[in-house]
Structure 1
Amino acid sequence: MSSIHLSMIAGGFLLGALAGFLMHRSDYCVAGMFRDLFLFRATRMLKTLLLLITVSLPLFELIRLTGFVSVPFPFFGPPSLTNLLGGFLFGIGMVLAGGCVVGTLYRLGAGSFPGLLAFLGLVAGSTLFAGLYPQWTHVSRALALPTKAVTLPQLLGLPSWLLVLLLVPVLVTLIWRWFRDGSLYRSGVVDGYLQPWQAALGLALLGGASVLLVGMPLGITTSYAKFGAMLLAPLAPEYYASLNYFQLVPLRYTPPLGGGLISGGPGFGLDAVALVQFPLILGIVAGSAWSAIRLGEWRLQIKLPWRQVISAVLGGIIMGLASRMAPACNIWHLFGGLPIFALQSFLFLAGLFPGAWLGGLLLTRLVIPR
């Protein structure tokens, strides 16, 4: 392993640790943002998400203009209605699980048993998708949209910097009004708590640092399928070998730091996906655990109502399936895709809203009925 790859591992772990710390200290949960919108008509956290995207827009564009990193990032492709369907299912799953793919990790780091259950569900759902992959390829072809454009600027035939220049002043004006009326602040916070808008700024900067370090924004969901492959391969080698999904190599690129072409996919093995995503996952868990320990909040509570156990596992399974169908998760699309105007990410977001609404309805009717 080269020194560049070691730098990527160390840097990825550090980025993950900082992200886990920020999200734990502010309880920055994307699933909670959408759930609270429909259950309580609360918009504060969604406003901080818009702040994160507003900061990321010029940051990612400046990085692109340097020529240091290629945009669109690896893994992004032309849009399909599968992005919409995946976003819809993901919205249901993240509300039932009580957290998205990253929210599950930082809660797991803080000792959350539902977080552990959701994590196991994510691995199970991602592994289950491998068996459905041949049928899903037919669905994907049927739902493909008639364009090869990956981003909105490509679709419109406009330079991306122009859209950034037109959009950012409008967003900054809106966010400044929210700052002035106090709607971005959470009152009555305890010692050690971080305001969500501060976490949003930090996460936007971490996203930019990730682009510079590994050539793409924060993302981890392919690793859930890889975890499943690492369990399945030794337990059922013949069945594992029969699954075409685990033979795919969708990631082929040269990192911005150099080191030559690297490649990887969801299958068993320590490849480019493991190099980029494993340190990030470990870092998120470690950063959150360190934050919880420092605050004296780390505790493992195993006793849960049976409905909550089922909800966490089932929500994780749905998220795992949806993240492979979409493909990718809310963090990848919202934190990384929207700032580059990725068409896949717009469709994912369009599906996420009704999915979260339905997830909230199921949560209040079946899991925690009032």
Structure 2
Amino acid sequence: MFEQPYLLIVVSSLAIGLVAGFVMHRSDFCVTASFRDMFLFRDFFLMRQMVLLIAVSMVLFEFGRLVGIITIHPFPLLGAPTLVNAIGGFVFGIGMVLAGGCVCGSLFKFGAGSAASLLAVGGMIAGSTFYAEIHPQWAAFAKATVLVDKRVTLAQWLELPPTILLLPLATALGFWLWREFRAGRMVRPAFAASHLAPWRAAVVLALLGFASYVLVGMPLGITTTYSKLGLAIESLFAPEHVGSLAYASTMPLNYTPPFTDRTISGGPGPQLDAIAALQYPLILGIVGGALFSALHLGEFRLQWRLPPRQFASALAGGILLGLAARMAPACNVWHLWGGVPILAMQSLLFVAGLVPGTWVGARLLTRFVVR
């Protein structure tokens, strides 16, 4: 397992995860809050940081493609757009608000001691595992609702070079962000000396996504591993049932990473494969980076004194997140930090569902959880 190309993948993913967890904890950079705050408080501050992350990623990805250091475009596991992308995004939006964090946010908050986030991660594993039971029906629905066949990005659909679309869009976003900086809307006062400004965190996270794309051939992704973990646990008690699941035997990842000529493959089943090499170290890194940051600041503490309804919300939200990440497929990190910057149509549909899903989640949160 630890021979080329797996060694480079494991080391790269672990290093990227450690830095990402550290940066997200120091800045409290949360994708969930970026969307949720728009509806709860009409506050767009964190959404501006998310736009910055996407814009920087867009420039870096296209630059890497043009100069030849990104050789896989579009990256593996992206496919043709289908209605399930928007449906999955909608359910994901509800889940991340109820959980109090997305797949990355829950991990770094767990690393800092949040018991609710740990419960949310457990819910994600449960939701991802349940999806295996309905995969054949959902996969058939996804195939029946394909919107554009054999095309992944807008540029491919329009039969245009990617730069023709990305250059004017990146320029427009850059001009708008420059005006937001000039107006002081990208920065807020921070009273902790250790605090990392969210705009700086956005740039660092974009650079980490770019590093992942260059080194392993794709940007950051996590959620397939929740299925692997869940099915591995289930196989301890019902190995025959897990072996009979069609989803457990699928191998959607099959590609040749950069810096090697060896093809690797992986799937959501419990086996150790390419997806395990990509995502297990990344998850451990995010948790470990946040834990190190919290310990270094003397801020680590177990946060468990919460009302029961908040724990229930975290668990329910986590289950929805895990289920939605398989329905979509993939999570907000994969789509926002990876697919949207290259105008992948799957990712654009995911965001189209994510926004109204977040609104519904915010309404449920204020009605039943945080009254």
| Alignment TM class, shorter chain as reference | over 0.9
Q: Residue 370 of structure 2 aligns with which residue?
A: 368
| 157-166 or 213-222, larger mean C-alpha shift | 157-166
2:5–2:257 Cα contact (<8 Å) kept = no
- Aligned pairs for 1:38-77 (under 5 A) are 38-68=39-69, 69-77=71-79
Q: Residue 5 of structure 1 aligns with which residue?
A: 6
Deviation at 1:164, TM superposition (A): 1.9
1:89–1:319 Cα contact (<8 Å) kept = yes
Q: Counterpart of 1:194 in 2: which secondary structure?
A: coil
Deviation at 1:321, TM superposition (A): 0.5
Q: Residue 267 of structure 1 aligns with which residue?
A: 269
1:207–1:218 Cα contact (<8 Å) kept = yes
Deviation at 1:120, TM superposition (A): 0.1
Deviation at 1:3, TM superposition (A): 4.4
Give the whole-Å Cα distance in 2 for the aligned partners of 1:250 and 1:287. 29
1:2–1:259 Cα contact (<8 Å) kept = no
Residues 112-134 of structure 1: per-residue CA shift (max 9 Å, x gap): 10110000000000000000112
2:6–2:274 Cα contact (<8 Å) kept = no
Structure 2 segments unaligned to the other structure (5+ residues): none
The one-letter code of the counterpart of 1:63 is G
Give the whole-Å Cα distance in 1 for the aligned partners of 2:276 and 2:140. 28
The one-letter code of the counterpart of 2:348 is F
Q: Counterpart of 2:294 in 1: which secondary structure?
A: helix
Deviation at 1:7, TM superposition (A): 2.4
Deviation at 1:53, TM superposition (A): 1.0
Give the whole-Å Cα distance in 2 for the aligned partners of 1:3 and 1:243. 31
Q: Residue 90 of structure 1 aligns with which residue?
A: 92
Give the whole-Å Cα distance in 1 for the aligned partners of 2:137 and 2:89. 19
Give the whole-Å Cα distance in 2 for the aligned partners of 1:243 and 1:9. 28
Give the whole-Å Cα distance in 2 for the aligned partners of 1:288 and 1:182. 28
Which contiguous aligned blocks of 4+ residues in structure 1 show a shift greater than 6 angstroms?
Answer: none
Task: Report the number of matched residues.
Answer: 369
Q: Residue 16 of structure 2 aligns with which residue?
A: 15
The one-letter code of the counterpart of 1:316 is G
Deviation at 1:276, TM superposition (A): 0.8
Q: Residue 253 of structure 1 aligns with which residue?
A: 255
Q: 2:321 aligns with which of 309, 319, 331?
A: 319
Give the whole-Å Cα distance in 1 for the aligned partners of 2:345 and 2:203. 24
- Aligned pairs for 1:159-308 (under 5 A) are 159-258=161-260, 260-308=262-310
- Please report the TM-score for the alignment, with normalisation by the length of structure 2: 0.97
Q: Residue 351 of structure 2 aligns with which residue?
A: 349
Deviation at 1:65, TM superposition (A): 2.2
Deviation at 1:188, TM superposition (A): 3.6
The one-letter code of the counterpart of 1:64 is R
2:94–2:357 Cα contact (<8 Å) kept = yes
2:128–2:326 Cα contact (<8 Å) kept = yes
Deviation at 1:66, TM superposition (A): 3.4
Q: Counterpart of 1:78 in 2: which secondary structure?
A: coil
Deviation at 1:340, TM superposition (A): 0.7
1:84–1:349 Cα contact (<8 Å) kept = yes
1:5–1:259 Cα contact (<8 Å) kept = no
| 271-280 or 134-143, larger mean C-alpha shift | 134-143
- Please report the TM-score for the alignment, with normalisation by the length of structure 1: 0.98
Give the whole-Å Cα distance in 1 for the aligned partners of 2:185 and 2:24. 19
Q: Counterpart of 2:185 in 1: which secondary structure?
A: coil
Residues 158-213 of structure 1: per-residue CA shift (max 9 Å, x gap): 10012122112211110001111110112243120111000000000000000011
Q: Residue 35 of structure 2 aligns with which residue?
A: 34
